[in-house]
Structure 1
Amino acid sequence: MQVITSTEMAALDANCEYYGLARIQLMENAGASLANIIKQKFPQGTPVTIFAGKGSNGGDAFVAARHLTGYNVQVFLLGRGDEIKTAGARWNFSILKKAGTPVIEITDSTQIPELDNDCVIIDAIFGTGIKGRLRPLESNAIDRINNCASKVVSVDVPSGLDPDTGDFEKAVRSNLTITFHKPKPALLRQELKTYTGELITAPIGIPLFFERLIGKGDLGRLATRKPESHKGDAGSMLIIGGGPYSGAPALCAMAALRCGVDLVHIAAPEAVSNIIASFSPNLIITALTGNHLNENDILLLKKMIPTVDVVVIGMGLGKHPETQSALQEIIPLCKKAVIDADGLYALDFQQKNYSNIIITPHSYEFNQITELKTPENLNTRMQVVTGFAEASDTTILLKGKADVIAKGSVAKINTTGTSSMTVGGTGDVLAGITAALFTTNDALLSACCAAFISGRAGEICHQKYGSGLTATDIIECIPEARNP
C-alpha cells in the first residue's frame, strides 16, 4: 500500500493551492468525507462530541460538524477561537457559530467536561503537523478521551501519534482512524493497532497527477540558512568548465550564487580563465593548463574536489578526447556532482556507479548517452526516463517543455518555463541552480526544485522582456522565483 509522509502531504497541500485547488476546498472535502463515514458507521441521533485543535485538523472537524445533520453534535475547541491558526479553519469555525452549533472554547484543563459513554467522540486535536511535547490542556484532553467508554474516531491520525515514526508521548486510543488521500506511514504499523483501530483512507479530491507535479510546496522542503551560519555552511561548489566557450561556467556560477550557495570556485583552462574572471568580481577562478581540460590538470583538481560539497562538470568544456579522458578519471572522485552538456559524454553507465550524480540532459543528449529515444507522449517519456534512472541509480533531470525528473522509481514533472528560454545559456543557469541546492539537499529534491525555480524565473523574465530575455536576466530573477 502506498503511503505519504507528513512532509510530503504538506508539500502536496501547498502544491494543490499553487495549481488552483484551494486548501479550503480540500478542507471541505475532508470534512464531508469524515461526516459521510460517520453516517455509515453510526445511526442518526447519535450524540457526537468533537475535540478540535487550533489547526487544519480541527478545521476538518468543523466541516464535518456542519455536515452531520440529524446528529446531536457539540464541539469543544481546545483554545480560543481567535487563536485558530489557519484561514480555512477560522472560516469554518465562524460558520459553525453562526449556524447555532454548540461550541465551547476550553482554555483550562478544569473546563474539560466528563464524557458520556454512549456518544461518538471525534478526535481532531492534532493532525500530521504535531511537533514537540504535549501541552497540559491537550494532554489532559487525551486522557479524558482514553478514559471514556465511547467509540473514538480520529481525524487523519490519532492525536499525539507521530504520523511518520509512530513515536508518541501520549496518544488517543481510537476505534477508527479516518486518514485522508493516502495512509501515513505509522498508521500501517501493526503494533500501533491499539491506537489506530480500524483504518479508512478517504479521498479528498486531490488528482493523482498532482503528486507528480513540482510546485511551491516542494520549495518549502529545502534546507534553510540558519541565523548562526558561517561562511560555507550554505554550501560550496566547484565548476569544472570552459575551454571552447567562456560564458557558460560564468553563467552557472552566477546562477548558483543567486540561488544562495556561499562559495563558488571555477576551474577553467588558462586560455579562458581571465575572460571568465572578468564577468564578475564574485567569481573565484583557478587557471588550469592549456586551451582545454587535459590530464595535466588532474592532480590540481584532485586537491580541489575534496574541499567542496558539489562539483559541476561540463559547461563549455568541449569534447576533445583529452578532456573526455580526464573527466573519466575526475568524476568518480566527486562526493556529489552535477553533470551537464559536454560532461555527459564522459559517463559510462555500464561500468560506473553514479548514485551521487545528477545529470541534466536535453532529449538529444539523453539519446546520445543512453541510446534511448524520448517519446513525445509525457507518460511514455516518464516511463523511459524512470526506467533508466532506476537501472543506472542516477538522478535525471531531462529538460524539455515539461521537465521530467527521476530518481529510482520516483518520477516528477515540472511545467514552469516558457518558450523564450530556448535562448543560449539557460541550461548553464539550470545546472548552477541544481548544484547550489544539491550542496545542502538530496539529489531528487534538488533537481525538482531547480527545474521549478529555473522555469519560474524564466516566466518572470518573460513578463518583462518577452522573447528578448537572456540567461543573465533569468539569473537576476532567481531570488524571486525561490519565493513564489
Structure 2
Amino acid sequence: MDAITSSRMKAIDSNCEYLGMDPLQLMENAGAGIAREVHSRLDTGKVLFIAGRGNNGGDAFVAARHLALCDGCEVKVVLLGRSSQIRTSEAISNFRLLKHSGITEVMEITDSLELDKLSEWKETDIIVDGILGSGVKGSPRTLESAAIGHINDSGSFVISIDVPSGLDVDTGEGEVSVKASVTLTFHRPKKGLLLPNASSFIGELKVIGIGVCRDAEDLVGPGDLNNLKKRSYMAHKGNSGRVLVVGGGAYYGAPALAGLAALRAGADIVTLAVPEGIAATVASFSPDLIVHALSGKRLHPGNVSVVSELIKSHDVIIMGPGLGKEGATRQALKRIVPMCKKAVIDADALHDSIISGKQDAEIILTPHSAELSRLTYENVPEDVEGKKALVLEFSKGMQVVTLLKGNTDIISDGDGVKINCTGNAGMTVGGTGDVLAGIAGALLAANNAMDAASCASFINGAAGDLAFKEKGYGLLATDIIEMISTVMKQEL
C-alpha cells in the first residue's frame, strides 16, 4: 500500500466531505477500529485513554465508547484541557456522548501537576495515546509533553492513534514523542512512519481502513485546493507570480481571457505579448492587463529576442491562446519554449515539434482529444480508463504534465493520474480553454505542475458550474472568470 503525506491525507478527508461523507462517519469508523484492536489484545483489564483536544482526541472518545460495551474492560478517559477547548465539532459531539456510554471516569486535566497524581499510570493494562494527530508539527506544549513522559514511563502496553504523539508524521522525527507498542494509522501508512528514525517510536505499524471513498483519492476536489501554497501576509507585488501570455494575432479575445483568468486565480502581474495590430484592442479589455506589442500581424521569429527578454522577468509563460497556426509562428515557438522554466502550452501552440521529451522545465500541456491525437499519433480512446493509460504514457515519455480536456478531465505527470469531473455542457462555448490556461499559469507560479494542472482543472470546471446556475447555456467565458474567486474561497 502506497504511503502518503499528512497534507495528502488531509486533502482526502476534505474530498470525502465534498463528495457527501460526513466527517463524523470517518471518526466513527476510526474509533470503532481502534476499539477492536484494543479488545483483541485485552479480554479483561483496565484501559486508559489520553486524549487531546483535536480530532485525534475525537477518535479516542469514539473508541472509548465502543470499548465500554465490552464486558471485562474498565475504561477511563483523560482529556488534556477543558472540554470547552475541544477544537472540532466532531470531537465535541463524541465527547458529549461519553456521558451516555457508561464510562464513570472522564477527567479534564489542565495542569501537569494533576497528571503526576494519577495512579492510573501504573495500574493500567493498555494506554491509548490520542493526544496529538498527524497534522501537528513542532514540539508538544507543556501539558502534552508531560503526558507523553508519563505514558513512556508507565510500563503499560501503548497503542497510538494514527501517529505516536509528538512524532512528525512526514519526517519521522520528534524531540518528545510517545514510544508506542502499536501504532494504528488510518487509510494508508504515512511516509514518516516508514522511515528508519521512526522505528523506535511506532512499534508495530497497522493500517486501519476507515471507509474513505475511492473517488476522494482519484478525483480532484477542494481538499487538493487546500494544499496549494498560501500567500504570505509579508508578500510584495510580484511575489505571488508574474505571468506572461504569448498569444493573439489570429484572435484577440483569447489572450485577454487567459490573462484575466490568471489575475483572478491569484497572479500578481500579467503581461500579454501580442502582435501590434491587436495590442490596443486587447488592452481595452481591462486596465489590469499589461500589454506589450510585438511587431507584425502574427508571432514570428523576429519577435523571439523581445519575448526572451520578457521571459526573464516572468515566472510562468502561457503560450498558445489565439496565436494561429502559421509556419513562422511555430518556428518562433520552437525557439521560445526552451527558454522557459515554467510554461503552460495550449491551443495553437500544441504541435508535435514543440517539446523534445527531455525537459529541464516544468511544462503543462492542455490538449483536447483531437490535439492529443496529433501529439501522440494515436486515436484517443472513448473510455476514461483508456484515456488515463494514454495520458500517463505520453506524460511519462515527454516528461510533462498533460491535462486532457473533456467531459472528464484527465491529468497526469507520468507517475500518477488524477481525474476531474467538474464542468458542464455549457462550457463548450469559446474561450473556456483560454480561461483554464490562465488559471493553470497562475497556479504554476507557486506550485508544482501536477498540483497546478489538477487544481486548475477543478477550479475552471467548478467556476463553470456556478456560472451555469446563473446563465444556463448562455454562459460566457467571462462569466466563468468572475466565479474563479468564489471557487478558490471554496464557497461551493
Report if TM-score (shorter chain) is over 0.5: yes
**How far apart, in 2, do the equivalents of 1:147 and 1:96 lie?**
27
Correspondence list, 1:110-259, <5 A = 110-112=113-115, 113-114=118-119, 115-259=121-265
**Correspondence for 1:384 among 378, 382, 390:** 390
**How far apart, in 1, do the equivalents of 2:355 and 2:319 lie?**
16
Aligned-partner residue type, residue 110 of structure 1? L
Aligned to 1:436, the other structure's residue is in SS state helix
**Correspondence for 1:108 among 86, 108, 111:** 111
**How far apart, in 2, do the equivalents of 1:406 and 1:76 lie?**
46
Q: 1:166 to 1:352 in 2, by over 3 A?
A: closer
Correspondence list, 1:231-380, <5 A = 231-345=237-351, 347-350=353-356, 352-353=358-359, 355-380=361-386
Match of 1:460 in 2: 466
Match of 1:399 in 2: 405
* Residues 68-126 of structure 1 deviation map (CA, whole Å, 9 limit, x = unaligned): 12211100000110111111000000000233422100100011113125510000001
Aligned-partner residue type, residue 405 of structure 1? I
Match of 1:85 in 2: 87
- 1:390–1:408 Cα contact (<8 Å) kept: yes
Question: Which deviates further from its counterpart, 161-170 or 384-393?
Answer: 384-393
Aligned to 2:76, the other structure's residue is in SS state strand
- 1:16–1:206 Cα contact (<8 Å) kept: yes
Report how far residue 216 of structure 1 moved: 0.8
**How far apart, in 2, do the equivalents of 1:411 and 1:48 lie?**
44
Aligned to 1:417, the other structure's residue is in SS state coil
Question: Which deviates further from its counterpart, 20-29 or 223-232?
Answer: 223-232
Match of 2:63 in 1: 64
- 1:354–1:392 Cα contact (<8 Å) kept: no
Report how far residue 347 of structure 1 moved: 3.8
- 1:387–1:409 Cα contact (<8 Å) kept: no
* Residues 264-321 of structure 1 deviation map (CA, whole Å, 9 limit, x = unaligned): 0011111211111111111111111111111110111111101100000001101100
Match of 1:42 in 2: 42
Aligned to 1:72, the other structure's residue is in SS state strand
- 1:354–1:394 Cα contact (<8 Å) kept: no
Q: 1:470 to 1:232 in 2, by over 3 A?
A: same
Q: TM-score, normalised by structure 1?
A: 0.98
Aligned-partner residue type, residue 12 of structure 2? L
Match of 1:17 in 2: 17
- 2:139–2:176 Cα contact (<8 Å) kept: no
Aligned-partner residue type, residue 19 of structure 1? L
**How far apart, in 2, do the equivalents of 1:264 and 1:321 lie?**
27
**How far apart, in 2, do the equivalents of 1:226 and 1:9 lie?**
24
Q: 1:258 to 1:320 in 2, by over 3 A?
A: same
- 1:234–1:439 Cα contact (<8 Å) kept: yes
Report how far residue 353 of structure 1 moved: 2.1
- 1:157–1:178 Cα contact (<8 Å) kept: yes
**How far apart, in 2, do the equivalents of 1:9 and 1:436 lie?**
25
Aligned to 2:351, the other structure's residue is in SS state helix
Aligned to 2:350, the other structure's residue is in SS state helix
- 2:16–2:213 Cα contact (<8 Å) kept: no
Report how far residue 391 of structure 1 moved: 1.7
- 1:339–1:360 Cα contact (<8 Å) kept: yes
Report how far residue 19 of structure 1 moved: 0.6
- 1:325–1:346 Cα contact (<8 Å) kept: no
Report how far residue 350 of structure 1 moved: 4.8
Q: TM-score, normalised by structure 2?
A: 0.96
- 1:336–1:356 Cα contact (<8 Å) kept: yes
**How far apart, in 2, do the equivalents of 1:336 and 1:417 lie?**
26
Runs of 4+ with >6 A deviation? none
Query: Structure 1 stretches of 5 or more lacking a match?
Result: none
* Residues 405-456 of structure 1 deviation map (CA, whole Å, 9 limit, x = unaligned): 1112111111111110000000000000010111111111111111111111
Report the identity percentage: 47
Report how far residue 354 of structure 1 moved: 6.1
**How far apart, in 2, do the equivalents of 1:415 and 1:345 lie?**
26
Q: Name the Cα RMSD after superposition.
A: 1.3
- 1:327–1:346 Cα contact (<8 Å) kept: no
Match of 2:433 in 1: 427
- 2:171–2:195 Cα contact (<8 Å) kept: no
Aligned to 1:116, the other structure's residue is in SS state helix
Match of 2:52 in 1: 53
Question: Which deviates further from its counterpart, 129-138 or 392-401?
Answer: 129-138
Q: How many residues align?
A: 483
Aligned-partner residue type, residue 42 of structure 2? F
Aligned to 2:78, the other structure's residue is in SS state strand
Query: Structure 2 stretches of 5 or more lacking a match?
Result: none
Report how far residue 395 of structure 1 moved: 0.5
**How far apart, in 1, do the equivalents of 2:99 and 2:432 lie?**
54
**How far apart, in 2, do the equivalents of 1:61 and 1:355 lie?**
47
Match of 2:96 in 1: 94
Match of 2:31 in 1: 31
Q: Determine whether 1:481 maps to 2:481.
A: no
